[in-house]
Amino acid sequence: MDPKAVKTDLVLILDFGSQYTHLITRRIRSLNVFSLCISGTSPLETITKLKPRVVILSGGPHSVHTPESPGFPDGFIEWAESNGVFVLGICYGFQLLVHRLGGEVKVGLKQEYGKMEIHVENACGLFGWKNVGSKQFVWMSHGDEAAKLPNGFEVVARSDQGSVAAIQNPSKKFYGLQYHPEVTHTPEGMETLRYFFFEICKVTAGWKMENVLDEEIRVIKDTVGPQEHVICALSGGVDSTVAATIIHKAIGDRLHCVFVDNGLLRYKERERVMETFEKDLHLPVTCIDASDQFLKALKGVTDPEMKRKIIGKEFICIFDSFAQDLELKLGIKPSYLVQGTLYPDVIESCPPPGSGRNHSHTIKSHHNVGGLPKDMKLKLIEPLKLLFKDEVRQLGRIMDVPEGFLKRHPFPGPGLAVRVLGDVTEDNALDILRQVDEIFIRSIKDAGLYDSIWQAFAVFLPIKSVGVQGDKRTHSHVVAIRAVTSQDGMTADWYNFEYKFLADLSTKICNSVPGVNRVVQDITSKPPSTIEWE
C-alpha cells in the first residue's frame, strides 16, 4: 500500500522512543485520518517524499541536553515552514521543538509524572474550544521543562505547578503539548487531537478500509506481471488468510497457497485449518508436512531469538523448494512470496531511535520480518504491513471472510516454539502444551469469554515441581496460562478470570494431562512484559 495513494491527508509521526508513540498512530487512524510512524532520525528526504500534512514529534525517554539525544534532521524546520506543514511536539517532541528553535529547556524544579491538572491561559489555537481558566486532567511524564519559549511562541496552558503545558506559534504552524493527549489517562486528549487536526490543520479524513482494499488490489496488479505467479505462506491465522484473500482477488489462480505443518502447531490445527481453507474460503492450498525438518533444526536450541531465526530460515527453504516444484509443473518460476506481516510486526522487529541503535529496542524478530535470509530468491509482497490487527479484521469482513475465523486469537508465526521455554524436543513438551492449550481455549469458549479476550494461550515452563497425585508424590511439569485484553497488541492488560473458572481449569488440566501437576497464571501487562513468553 502506497501511503501517498490513500485518500486522506497524511499525519506523519516521528518516533523518538516513547512507549506511547504507536498509540498516537492508532488514535489518529480512529479519526479516519491515515497516520504513519517512522524513525525520528529519518533523513529529510524520507520525510519530504511522504508529503505529510501534519508532522508529530513523539515523546521519548531522552533529555535534549544529552549529546546522544535524537532529533529531527537538519533542514526540517525550514522545510515545514516553507511548505505550510503543521508540526505538533508531544512531551520530548515539545522540548525538542523549543530547544531547536532557540528557546530554553532546563531540569524542572518539580518533576511531573502521572496525572496532573492543567488550566487554559489562552483560549485560542490549540484550546480554541475552551475558556480561559478551564481545567482538565492530563498525563504527564517529564523531568525537563520549557523555561524560555522561542520567539513568536505563546503559552496556551500551564500545569497547577506552573510549568508550561501547551504552546503555539500559529503563524509558523508550530504547536506543542508537554503532556500525552493520546493516552486514556488524559480524558479530553482525543478531543484536543480532533480539534487540532480538523479545526486548526483542516485535515481531510478519508481513511477507510474500502479504500485500503481497492488501493491494495491496484498495487498488487501493478506489481505482479500478467504472467507471474505468487506463493502465499498460509499459517492458519487471520493475517495470512486475509492477505491471501486480497491476492486471490487481484490475480486469481496465479496464487498458490502453501500451509506448512512445522510440528509446532496447536492441537489438531492442521486438520481444522485445512478444512476451513477448503470449505469456507475456497483457497487453493497445498499442505506440506515438514515437522521432522523443523524439529531436527531446533533440537538443543533454547534461545528464543535463535528459534525465530531458525524457523524463518526453514520456512524460506520450504517455500523455495515449493517454488521449484511449481516451476516444473507450470513451466514458469514463481516470483513472489506473500506474507501477512502487520505493522506491529514491523515496529517490534526494527530498532527505532536514542540508544545508539535508534530510539527503541528490538523487542523480537518476527519470523516473517527479522528472520528472513538475505539471499532469499522470492520477492516479498506484504499487503498488510501498514495495518494493525483490528484493521485487518475489518478488511476481512469487507471480503466476507467468515466472522468465526476473523475472531480467532493471534497465533505466533514460530508457533509453539516460543511458548515452550527451552528445547522444544525435550520432555514431551509439545504434546503436553498442545493438550493444556486445548483445554484452556475450550474452557474459555464454553464460558462465553473467547470474544472478550484478545489472546489466550498456555506456556510450557522449564521447571518441575513436587505434587501429590493418586496418593503418590510426583515431580512433574509446571504450565502457565496467559490471557490478555488489547486493541492492537502494542499494549495489553491481563484478563481477570473469576476464581471458580481458574479453579475448575486447574483441576481439569492436572487431571487430564499426564506429566502436569501445577498450573500458574501470568498477570503481567505489556509493558513491562510482552504478550508472548519466549
Closest Cα to residue 415, out of 377, 458, 386?
458
Q: Which three cell numbers stand for residue 333?
A: 518460476
Cell 495513494, residue? 5
CA distances from 141 to 115, 179, 181, 364, 529 (A): 9, 7, 12, 26, 20
**Strands 104-120 and 230-234: what pairing?**
unpaired
**Residue 239 known to bind ligand:** yes
- The DSSP secondary structure of 270-297, one letter per residue, reads HHHHHHHIIIII---EEEEE-HHHHHHH
Contacts of 473 by beta carbon, 8 Å cutoff, 6+ apart: 466, 467
- The length of the chain is 534
Question: 162 a known binding residue?
Answer: no
117 is catalytic: no
Quickly tell me which residue has 517455500 as its cell.
319
Give which of 278, 220, 287 is closest to 249, Cα–Cα.
220
Q: How far is CA 32 from CA 47, 198, 388, in A?
A: 21, 11, 14
Count other C-beta atoms under 10 Å from residue 7's C-beta. 15
Burial per residue of 318-340, b for 16 or more beta-carbon CB atoms within 10 angstroms, e otherwise = bbbebbeebeeeeeeebbbbbbb
Is position 240 annotated in a ligand binding site? yes
Nearest to 401 by CA among 208, 234, 211: 234
Give the largest Cα separation in the chain, rounded.
Answer: 81
The β-bridge partners of 13 are 37, 56
Catalytic residue at 498? no
The answer to whether 128 is a known ligand-binding residue is no
Question: Does residue 260 come out as left (phi exceeding 0), alpha (psi in the -120 to 50 range) or beta?
Answer: beta
Is 241 known as a binding-site position?
A: yes
Indicate which residue of 22, 37, 91, 359 is catalytic: 91
Answer yes or no: is 236 a known binding residue: yes
CB neighbourhood size of 66 (10 A): 9
Which member of 99, 180, 256, 367 is catalytic? 180
300 is in an annotated binding site: no
Is 91 noted as a catalytic residue in this protein?
yes
182, 269, 314, 382: which is the annotated catalytic residue?
A: 182
Cβ count within 10 A of residue 281: 19
User: End-to-end distance of the chain based on CA atoms, in angstroms?
Assistant: 31
Contact by Cβ (8 Å): 410, 237 = yes
For residue 287, how far is the Cα from the chain centroid?
Answer: 29
Q: Which three cell numbers stand for residue 121?
A: 491561559
Annotated binding site for ATP: 235-241
Catalytically active residues, by annotation: 91, 180, 182
Annotated binding site: 235-241
